[in-house]
Amino acid sequence: MANVRSLVAKANQKLSIRWAAALLSASTFFSLLFGLYRDRLLNSMYLPSDTTGFGGYPVGIDAYTAAFTVPDFMFFILVSGALSVTFIPVFNQRLVAGNKKSAWELSTSLINFMALITLVASILIIIFADPLIRYIVAPGLDESGMGLAISMTRVVAINPFLFAITSVITSMQQAIGRFTFYALAPSVYNIGIIIGILWFTKGINIFGFQVFDGGIMGLALGVVLGSVMQLIISTIGLIGLGFDYRFKIFWKNQGFRKVLTLLPARSLDQGMDYILAVVEINLASRMAAGTVRAYNQASNLYMAPINLIGVAISTAAFPQMSERLSQGRPDLFKKELQAVLRVIIWIAMPVAMLIFATRGYIVSFIKPGGSTIIAGLLGALTIAILFRSIYHLASRSFYAQQDTKTPLYISFVSIGLNIFLAVWFTQKLGTGPYGLAWAQSIVAVIEVLILFVVMSRRIRGLIDKNLIRAVRRMIIASSSMAVVSYVLVKIFPFQATDVSLSLTVPKFIIICSLSSLTYIACSRLLGLREAEPVIQTVKKFIFATGLARKR
């Protein structure tokens, strides 16, 4: 037991922003791989091999997608990012002041409080699943799909409760720079779902008794298993932190009261974002069978680079940015904000262009043979990749200042505009699911511009000449890479007959590798400092490999 404690404590050491960002990006990447494998399994089982239609069991897969909507909405509005961005600055203030007792009282109070309100929410979801799915979430589903969506919603209704406890625990670890077990949680969650696909869908047999007959409901059980596994791995990360948990809510704790005052604005902001998701599913359910799933798949693929870049880097930087302000150093806060912003733009801009060029290949990883619908939707969404990546840093710059209201007001405007555009494009202009994607991209640009206009007035000199010159050079380097990517895709085109990963992955790797090398070379020629760490790492790797061969 002592050895296990020692091993966990060693793995849970405090990391610098650079190493934390690298760890989070790596964990997000592996979680993405598990997610791609999960979706490939699902699409192989329930969707056909053609590139346009959705035969197989499109109603069932639409129902599975719709079943997450209400539980996810409750989690997002009550917990999710609302907790981390309101909790971490307040928690850090207590630690910087050396008041660990208050910090632990704050943490234990939040665990118990969030567990209590999400347990009530989970029970309400189970009771009202029928009218919620039938009249709000997916009124366009047929009766069989409706019944299945309702049943699956009731199974995954436990998720808000499990996720809430996990979120408080991982937020504590983020606040003090421990990211290892927080980083492992998403992959573990996807593994649980994969277990559900591979085994639970075939039925569950215990000691010769058939306790579950299998079928698509096995997916819902896999989701619950993944949630439980995620909670367990997150809890292990508390070992060695000295956390003093008590089954009690310290209502008089000033930090707890502060978080509760900050929480509503950010929770409403999160809720507004998810109201948009509900509207999109509602609109998609009125289209052809399989559209709900197609749009969901495109959204997941588009969110992957945002999570890898924007979320990972801004999450790693957020605790230190908050700490700078707690130390009374707004100058260092501004300097770090500029540096992180440059890194995000330098990475996200070429990634968005590369994804647009290779979208046919990327879709084929989750659906053998590809899909013109999903690829088209992904192409429309790639515009938003850069701006959504920046958004996560921009919004956190406000949260670091314990200002949750400004992003909320901006969200009201942007979400309202997004819903208006989505309805207008799909219902009035008849653009189908592509209207949903174009609405997302247009609003992503507008929201980031508004955030930075407001932030620039608050932090003088944030968008200075050096930053503008750097972004201009990044655009030139990315455009050069885009030309190379276009030519390579023409040389190595994706074909609908490429159903095996052995056919698609090598060509995809060649395109991405040569495109990336072009971008890094152009970045160095243009004097962009962000390219140097990558170049030095590659040199060290080549040098180390050369030495190993000589030996």
Digit-coded pLDDT (tens) for 156-181: 999 999 999 998 888 888 777 777 78
pLDDT at 211: 58
Give the CA distances from residue 230 to residues 89, 191, 343, 390, in Å, rounded to whole numbers and listed in that order.
24, 10, 30, 28
pLDDT at 227: 94
* Positive or negative: CA dihedral 243, 244, 247, 251: negative
Which amino acid belongs to residue 8?
A: V
From first to last of its 551 residues, the chain has per-residue pLDDT tens of: 555 556 555 555 666 666 666 777 677 788 888 888 888 888 776 544 443 333 445 777 888 889 988 898 888 777 765 566 678 778 878 877 778 888 889 999 999 999 999 999 999 999 999 999 999 999 988 888 899 999 999 999 999 999 999 988 888 887 777 777 878 888 899 999 999 888 888 877 666 666 566 788 888 999 999 999 999 998 888 877 778 888 899 998 988 888 888 777 667 766 677 788 889 999 999 998 788 888 999 998 999 899 888 888 887 787 777 777 777 777 788 888 888 899 999 999 999 999 999 999 999 998 888 889 999 999 999 989 999 999 988 888 887 887 778 888 888 899 999 999 999 999 999 999 999 999 999 999 999 999 888 888 888 778 888 889 999 999 999 999 999 999 999 999 988 777 788 889 999 999 999 999 999 999 999 999 888 877 776 666 555 444 445 55
Counting every residue written for the chain, the total comes to 551
pLDDT at 57: 58
pLDDT at 402: 76
Which amino acid belongs to residue 243?
A: F
Q: Calculate the dihedral angle through the C-alpha atoms of 536, 537, 543, 546, rounding to the nearest 10 degrees.
A: -150
Which amino acid belongs to residue 71?
A: P
The C-alpha angle 157, 163, 169, rounded to 5 degrees, equals: 160
Give the CA distances from residue 5 to residues 179, 309, 541, in Å, rounded to whole numbers and listed in that order.
17, 32, 33
CB within 8 A of 75, min separation 6: which ones? 118, 159, 160, 163, 164
pLDDT at 53: 36
| DSSP H or E stretch at residue 209 | strand 209-212
In the three-class reduction of DSSP (H, G, I as helix; E, B as strand; rest coil), residue 206 is classed as: strand
Dihedral pair phi/psi, residue 328, rounded to 5°:
75, 35
How far is 522 from 504, CA to CA, in rounded Å? Answer: 27
How far is 111 from 130, CA to CA, in rounded Å? Answer: 30
pLDDT at 404: 72
Centroid of chain to Cα 84: 14
Helices assigned H by DSSP within 132-179: 143-156, 159-175
How far is 291 from 145, CA to CA, in rounded Å? Answer: 13
Q: Calculate the dihedral angle through the C-alpha atoms of 134, 139, 143, 146, rounding to the nearest 10 degrees.
A: -60
Contact 340, 393 (CB under 8 A): yes
pLDDT at 521: 94
